[in-house]
Structure 1
Amino acid sequence: MKQADVTLTRETIVAFLGSIFDRRGAEEYLGEPVNMGQHMLQGATMAEQSGQSEEIIVSALLHDIGHFTSEFGTFSMNDTEDRHHEDAGAQVLEQFLPSVVTDCVRYHVAAKRYLCATRPEYAARLSEASVHSLNLQGGPMTAEEVAVFEQNPNLEKIIAVRYLDDAGKRPDMETPDFWHFAPMIQRLVDAHAQDLSVKTQG
Structure 2
Amino acid sequence: MNIVDRIYDLFAEFGGQDYGEDVSQLDHALQCACLAQREGAPDTIVAAALLHDIGQFIDHAGTQAEGSGTDGHHEHRGGALLQPYFPPSVIAPIVMHVDAKRYLCAREPGYREGLSSASELSLRLQGGPFTPDEATDFEKNPYFHEAIQVRRYDDAGKMKDMEVPSLESYRGLLTGLANPDTYVAVS
Scaled by the length of structure 1, what TM-score is found? 0.85
Whether the 8 Å contact between 2:29 and 2:51 is mirrored in structure 1 is yes
Greater relative contact order structure (CA < 8 Å, 6+ sep):
2
Q: Which of 131, 150, 158 is the aligned partner of 1:161? A: 150
Q: Secondary structure at the match of 2:66?
A: coil
Q: Which of 45, 54, 59 is the aligned partner of 1:56? A: 45
Q: Measure the CA separation in 2 of the matches of 1:168 and 1:131.
A: 16
Q: How many residues align?
A: 182
2:160 is equivalent to residue 171 of structure 1: yes
2:99 is equivalent to residue 110 of structure 1: yes
Matched residue, 1:40: 29
Deviations 1:106-140 (A, max 9, x none): 11000000000000221111111111110010000
Matched residue, 1:147: 136
Q: Secondary structure at the match of 1:96?
A: coil
Identity of aligned residues (%): 41
Matched residue, 2:87: 98
Q: Measure the CA separation in 1 of the matches of 2:67 and 2:56.
A: 16
Q: Which residue identity lines up with residue 81 of structure 1 in the other structure?
A: T
Shift of 1:102: 0.8
Q: Measure the CA separation in 2 of the matches of 1:63 and 1:42.
A: 12
Q: Which residue identity lines up with residue 61 of structure 1 in the other structure?
A: L
Whether the 8 Å contact between 1:70 and 1:89 is mirrored in structure 2 is no
Q: Measure the CA separation in 2 of the matches of 1:126 and 1:117.
A: 13
2:75 is equivalent to residue 86 of structure 1: yes
Query: Which moves more between the two structures, 67-76 or 143-152?
Result: 67-76
Deviations 1:38-84 (A, max 9, x none): 00110001111221110110000000000112464534424322110
Matched residue, 1:197: none
Q: Which residue identity lines up with residue 169 of structure 1 in the other structure?
A: K
Q: Secondary structure at the match of 1:141?
A: coil
Q: Secondary structure at the match of 1:66?
A: helix
2:13 is equivalent to residue 23 of structure 1: yes
Q: Which of 114, 134, 150 is the aligned partner of 2:123? A: 134
Q: Measure the CA separation in 2 of the matches of 1:170 and 1:72.
A: 22
Matched residue, 2:185: none
Structure 1: unaligned runs, 5 residues or longer: 1-5, 7-11, 195-202
RMSD across aligned positions (CA) = 1.6
Structure 2: unaligned runs, 5 residues or longer: 183-187
Q: Measure the CA separation in 1 of the matches of 2:31 and 2:117.
A: 19
Query: Which moves more between the two structures, 15-24 or 154-163?
Result: 15-24
Q: Secondary structure at the match of 1:51?
A: coil
Whether the 8 Å contact between 2:87 and 2:179 is mirrored in structure 1 is no
